[in-house]
Amino acid sequence: MWPLYAAGFVTAFGAHGIAANLGGFSDDAVTSLLVLGGLLALYDGAEVLLKPLFGTLADRIGARPVLLGGLVAFAAASTVYVVADGPAWLWVARFAQGAAASAFSPAASALVARLNPAGSHGRAYGSYGFWKSIGYTLGPLLGGLLVWLGDLRLLFAVLAGLGVAVAIWAAVAVPVVPPLPKRRQNVVDLARRLADPAFLAPTGALAAATAALSVGVGFLPVTGRAADLGTIATGAAVSLLAACAALVQPWTGRALDAGRISTARGLTVGLFVTAAGLACAMLPGLAGVLSAAALIGVGTGLITPVGFAALAASTPAARLGQTMGTAELGRELGDAGGPLLVAGVASAFSLSSGFGVLAALVAAGAGLALARSRRAPRARTGAVGA
């Protein structure tokens, strides 16, 4: 399992480590806001387009080859910018990194389920999410240190080395997991499976959690600056958010496996806590920023392992790659859609209004999850009585 945790760390560290330092102070930093926005969108755009495809490929040929190939491709993509001259190669390297992460990220998620019995999926996904959150937390910090010590190319070189090291580790330690025989699936079958509430509910919750996480990381520093807080205080708030998300996930996974929480309760409580955190972001001053960061982190930490464990439990083992790839697509859409929604509302009204609108949407999702969980027992009771 440890190479899979390391793969999750690599994709998170690579995404946030570079994104946070593209506009830094090195000689090869990006100085145009338009170019910066394009480079930030390029990585996520590659993931949105390719994750479902690579997830399906993992079901067809096995998740392990896709994992190894994606890690090697990530190292190669990072090396491109290290050895090539010219800013155009930064675009090539960033898109190729996103494409490679689209391969090994859903493959690692599928292997987490295949290598663990159903009764320990919560613990496994909690640990996987913990190390991924550590990557998100350390990415901007260690990435900034590497750029300060050298330049952006040094950061890409370190990522290339990480990709090679984790690929070798996975090749040695991760066992061969052959693809499982499966019934032929047409487009109607796929649409029916993806429209099933067993898929939509956890995927929607994961998308909402990712949207809130992205909004918190991006906009809480803006709120802090408006309240005359320094960069240390705003940076501490973002670190608090990521740390809470990381620490809560292993506990949540163990509680899910032990039966102390159910899937419905975990998703519902997580969404309500996340919505409360977004609402706290509307409060002025340091108290509002820190309470928002802590609650958003705790909420997303509750949702993530429960959501992935629910997807693994409701998916045939032969279709795990496809399901995880499509669920990751939902997370990427939340990652992009949350900040766009908040920014759009903020430009028309205020940033507090943007936080409020997203909080209301997340709370509405929690209400739907609660209503669905209450209908399910009544439906089962009616079926027994009939």
Rounded Cα distance between 363 and 271, Å, is: 6
Q: Residue 94's Cα: distance from chain center in Å?
A: 18
Low pLDDT (below 50) residues in the chain: 185-187, 190, 377-386
Helical pair 231-257 and 285-314, crossing angle rounded to 10 deg: 30
Six-digit token string for 218: 């991006």
What is the pLDDT, as a whole number, of residue 382? 43
| pLDDT single digits (tens) 37-65 | 677 677 877 877 888 888 888 888 888 99
What is the pLDDT, as a whole number, of residue 242? 82
Contacts of 180 by beta carbon, 8 Å cutoff, 6+ apart = 316, 317, 318
> Model pTM?
0.76
What is the pLDDT, as a whole number, of residue 302? 93
Cβ atoms of 287 and 320 within 8 Å: the answer is no
Residue type, 68: L
Largest CA distance in the chain: 73
Q: For residue 128, what is the DSSP state?
A: H
Q: Which helix (H) or strand (E) holds 286?
A: helix 285-314
Rounded Cα distance between 153 and 83, Å, is: 9
Cβ atoms of 10 and 71 within 8 Å: the answer is yes
What is the pLDDT, as a whole number, of residue 357? 94
Cβ atoms of 284 and 324 within 8 Å: the answer is no
Q: How many C-beta atoms lie closer than 10 Å to residue 134's C-beta?
A: 19
From residue 82, alpha-carbon distances to 20, 68, 122, 304 in Å are 18, 21, 39, 34
| pLDDT single digits (tens) 326-375 | 777 778 788 778 888 888 888 888 889 999 999 999 999 888 877 776 66
